[in-house]
Amino acid sequence: MTAFLVLIRRDLALSARQAADALVAVMFAVLVVVLFPFGVGPEADILSRVSAGVVWVAALLAALLSLDRLFQADHDDGSLEQLALGPLPLWALSLAKAAAHWLVTGLPLIVAAPILALMLQMPASGLSTLVLAMALGTPCFSLLGAIGAALVLGARRGGVLVAFLILPLTIPVLIFGAAATEAALTGQEAAPHLMLLGAFLLTSLALAPAAAAAGLRQALG
Amino acid sequence: MLLEAEGLVGGRGGHPLFGPLSLALAAGGALKVTGPNGAGKSTLLRLFAGLLVPMGGVVRANAALRYLGHHDAVKPAMTVFENLVFWRRFYGSDAAAAALVEVGLDRLAATPARYLSAGQRRRLALARALDPAAPIWLLDEPTNGLDADSVGRLEAALARHRSAGGATIVATHASLALPEATMLELGLT
Amino acid sequence: MTGSLHRFANPARFQRLSQAALPWCTGGTIVAFAVGLYLSLIGSPPDYQQSETVRIMYVHVPAAWMALGAYTTMALASAIALIWRHRLADLIAQSSAPIGAGFTVIALATGMLWGQPMWGTFWVWDARLTSVLVLLFLYLGYIALINAFEDPERGARAGAILALVGWINVPIVKFSVDWWNTLHQPASISRFAKPALHPSIMTPLLVMAIAYMLLFATLLLLRVRTATIEHRLRTLAMARARG
């Protein structure tokens, strides 16, 4: 457990030293959202109609942006093999790296989401559900992303490749997350969608670290 | 026996490089692996570290080990001391400032690692690997980029470790004094 | 299990067996397609609602089945390759992917052609079409990944893991897309009509399904044979580089 926390703390410290790297994800999400009114027009009813979906897509793209570095930096400078020799099994290593990724990108995105939603004229009645759904959905991005990041270690064009591999797998998160927000906005029950999102998170939590560990093992061997 | 190999066959990409090879290293022992590029020196060390799976035979390390690979595993954004402390805490051993003295980096402890020269980075990596809490040290080309002074300090550290009951395998093509070490020369097959 | 698998792993034995099986598979494919196409295009009655356009179904539905079938083959072979470190299973998995992607493209294209007369537009975000589209992305991601490494061995390992992850995800994606579809499309919009299982429809559909299966087997055998020979050439080249 100590090693697990020590690793998370190091990753957070490294991100803090390169604060620009950490903020770039949120800035990217803001930019995507700001671009949207230019594309579809500033009419409030159109924007509020698409607000839930746009915020989710922006968050997903922003979370993917930094994923290819998740293991790559440690792989390139030899840290990954040193980490593999430590007391943590590879799945715990993947879990720690995904947790650090979530703290650096997912958490700021959750904070930014209501602001982005307000910019898109989302009625206030949807905001609390949006934040709740984000809290369940963004960890899925980091967990699934860890699989992709482990698989592309040493590959050409790793960054684009991660997005290509992971985006299809995140479709359920997008569907349940946006549906929950949508339900809250139209006065329907959001709970079923949130429960499905939670189920997806639990499944990812159980399976993704193992899959990422398998990817790491083949990258180390 | 701290390290054992029986009928060990090592290879890369499904092709055997050396073996079958049997050896044992007791407390205080040292093995010096030499041979031309591509003979499998690094592969042998990675097998002992458990980073690779043998193509045949068995390999056992019966105590905690530290491994120094080709890469230094140094984070440029952290200071010299932070780099060392992270690895020591991660492995669950003492964060000994003494290790920095041993490699002559104590005066650079608070310097961000990005300002280190290649040789100084190598010494920082050595400080991580030369951990007295682990009886087994596996060192792959430890003298890369080191000046004569640092090589001398490394030899002294290895001697101290062995007299304290440790064992080491060093793969190198440079001259490094390892008194009474078993020699293993790998050839191209 | 392992023993019997390893007998097939012997490349020479595989080449011999596949050599013997190939003419039968090829012949079977041609006969099955001839019978199937006759039954579906000429020998079956037009649908009372969709008239002649229903015939697209005989090409579309089996293609969609085989798109899934090829992915399952790929995932199973990947599992065998990961667990038993089995060279031939790797080759089967890698060879299945482009064939499966081909079936997926056929399913999508015929789905769009079928959609035109039914919905008046080539593309609707119908649950099934959307799921098949996601399946195509899964195939393309796999193909991109296995070709992204200098060392084909690494590509094979990474691809095998991805195939298994994708396989676990396929039903989840299918479920979520159905869920999304029911939220956004009222039931009044007609989906692909579940064909009433009348024998006049069932028979041509089944014959076509068998024809597609045989086609998959034939193409797979051909591709694996080629890949085996390529692998042997690479091994020889590497052995020569070592002197």
For residue C30, the domain's CATH number is 1.20.120
pLDDT of residue B102: 87
SS3 C52: helix
pLDDT tens column, C178-231: 888 888 765 434 445 554 557 777 888 899 999 999 999 999 999 999 988 888
Give percent of chain B above pLDDT 90. 69
- The pLDDT, as a whole number, for residue A66 is 81
**A215 touches C: beta carbon within 8 Å:** yes
Query: Is C148 close to A175, i.e. CB distance below 8 A?
Result: no
Q: What is the pLDDT of residues B101-138, one digit of tens each?
A: 889 899 999 999 999 999 999 999 999 999 999 999 99
Instruction: Say if residue B20 is preceded by a cis peptide, omega within 30 of 0.
Output: yes
Q: How wide is the angle at C-alpha B176 spanned by C-alphas B182 and B165, nearest 5°?
A: 55
CATH number for region B3-185:
3.40.50.300
Examine the pLDDT at C8 and tell me if it is beyond 80. no
Identify the three-state secondary structure at position C227. Answer: helix
- Say how many CA atoms lie within 13 Å of B20 toward its Cβ: 6
| Per-residue pLDDT at C88 exceeds 70 | yes
What are residue A45's phi and psi, to 5 degrees?
Answer: -70, -35
The pLDDT of residue C194:
53
Measured in angstroms, the CA of B178 and the nearest CA of chain A are apart by 25
pTM of the model: 0.90
User: Could you read off the pLDDT of B137-169 as tens digits, one per residue?
Assistant: 999 999 988 999 999 999 999 999 999 999 999
Cα–Cα separations (whole angstroms), residue C162 to A150, A175, C231: 10, 22, 22
What is the rounded average pLDDT of the residues C7-22?
Answer: 77
CB pairs under 8 A between B and C: 10
The C-alpha atoms of residue B163 and residue B66 are separated, in whole angstroms, by 17
pLDDT by 10s per residue, chain A, length 221:
689 999 999 999 998 887 777 788 889 999 999 999 999 888 989 999 899 999 999 999 999 888 888 999 999 999 999 999 999 999 999 999 999 999 999 999 999 999 999 999 999 989 999 999 999 999 999 999 999 999 999 888 878 899 999 999 999 999 999 999 999 998 889 999 999 999 999 999 999 999 999 999 988 87
Q: Which residues of B124-150 are buried (b: 16+ CB within 10 A; e: fewer)?
A: bbbbbbbbbebbbbbbbbbbbebeeeb
Per-residue pLDDT reduced to its tens digit, C97-128? 999 999 999 999 999 988 888 778 888 888 88
On the 0-12 / 13-18 / 19+ scale of CB atoms within 10 A, B182 is: middle
A84-118 b/e (C-beta count within 10 Å ≥ 16 → b):
bbbebebbbbbbbbbbbbbbbbbebbbebbbebbe
Residues B120 and B149: beta-carbon distance below 8 Å: no
Domain containing residue C214: 19-181+193-242
Residue C132 touches chain A, beta carbons under 8 Å = no
The Cα–Cα gap between C110 and B178 comes to 73
> What is the rounded CA–CA span in Å between residue A213 and residue B54?
20
Closest Cα in chain C to A182: C183
In a domain? residue C146: yes
Mean confidence (pLDDT) of chain C: 85
- Name chain C contacts of A168, Cβ cutoff 8 Å: 134, 137-138, 141, 166, 169, 173
Would you call A6 and B86 a contact, using CB atoms and an 8 Å cutoff? Answer: yes
C12 found inside a domain: no
Residue C9 lies in a domain: no
d(CA B188, CA C3): 34
Let me know if C4 is exposed, middle or buried by CB neighbors in 10 A (0-12, 13-18, 19+).
Answer: exposed
Q: Which chain C residues in 165-194 lie under 8 Å from chain A, judged by CB atoms? A: 165-166, 168-169, 172-173, 175-177, 179-180, 183
Q: Which domain holds residue A116?
A: 2-220
C14 within domain boundaries: no
pLDDT at site C189: 41
Range name among A123-132, B75-84, C34-43 with the lowest pLDDT average: C34-43
Q: Which residues of B touch C238 (CB under 8 A)?
A: 13, 15
DSSP for residue B5: E
Long-range contacts (CB closer than 8 Å, 24 or more residues apart) made by C93-97: C93/C156, C93/C159, C93/C160, C93/C163, C94/C146, C94/C156, C94/C159, C94/C227, C95/C220, C95/C223, C95/C224, C95/C227, C96/C70, C96/C71, C96/C220, C97/C70, C97/C139, C97/C142, C97/C143, C97/C146, C97/C159
Our CA-based measurement puts residue A216 at a distance from the nearest CA of chain B, in whole angstroms, of: 11
- Burial class for A156, CB neighbours closer than 10 Å (0-12, 13-18, 19+): exposed
161-200 of A, contacting C, C-beta below 8 A:
161, 164-165, 167-169, 171-172, 175-176, 179, 182, 196, 200
> How near does any CA of chain C get to the CA of B52, in Å?
14
CA-based R_g, chain B, Å: 16
Give the integer Cα–Cα distance in Å for A117 and A131. 10
Contact (CB, 8 A) for C205 and C195: yes
- The answer to whether C123 and C129 have CB atoms below 8 angstroms apart is yes
- Beta strand ranges found along chain B (DSSP E): 3-12, 15-25, 30-34, 56-61, 65-68, 136-140, 167-171, 182-185
Q: Does C149 touch chain A (CB under 8 A)?
A: yes
CB C162 within 8 A of CB A152: no
Distance from CA of C144 to the nearest CA of B (A): 21
Residue in B14, B188, B189 nearest the CB of C153: B14
- The domain total for chain A is 1
pLDDT at C71 over 90: yes
Alpha-carbon span B182 to B137, nearest angstrom: 15
Between A6-15, B65-74, C26-35, C230-239, the lowest mean confidence (pLDDT) is in C230-239
> Where is average pLDDT lowest: B5-9, C134-138, C177-181?
C177-181
To the nearest whole Å, the CA of A152 is away from the closest chain C CA by: 7
pLDDT above 70: residue C7: no
Distance CA A131, CA A120 (A): 15
B7: left (phi over 0), alpha (psi -120 to 50) or beta: left
Is residue A177 within 8 A of residue A134, CB to CB? The reply is yes
- Per-position DSSP letters for A78-125, written without gaps between them: THHHHHHTSSS-HHHHHHHHHHHHIIIIIHHHHHHHHHHHHHTT--GG
Distance of residue A191 Cα from the nearest chain C Cα, in angstroms: 14
**pLDDT (0 to 100) of residue C197:** 59
Give the model's pLDDT for residue C190.
43
Kindly give the pairing relationship between strand B3-12 and strand B15-25.
antiparallel
Please list every residue in chain C whose beta carbon sits closer than 8 Å to the beta carbon of residue B188. 242-243
Neighbours of chain B (3+ CB pairs under 8 A): A, C
pLDDT attached to residue C243: 56
| Contact between residue A85 and residue A1 where contact means Cβ atoms under 8 Å apart | no
What whole-number distance in Å separates Cα of residue B127 and Cα of residue B107? Answer: 14
Contact between B188 and C238 using a beta-carbon 8 Å cutoff: no
Is C4 a member of any domain? no
Listed by start position, the domains of chain B span: 3-185
Yes or no, beta carbons of A152 and C158 under 8 Å apart: yes
What pLDDT digit, counting tens, does each position of C139-170 carry? 999 999 999 998 888 899 999 999 999 999 99
Q: Are B189 and C239 inside 8 Å of each other by CB?
A: no
For residues B33 and B22, what is the distance between their CA atoms, to the nearest angstrom? 14
A87 in B contact zone (CB under 8 Å) = yes
Look at residues C77, C109, C71 and name the one whose alpha carbon lies nearest to residue C91: C77
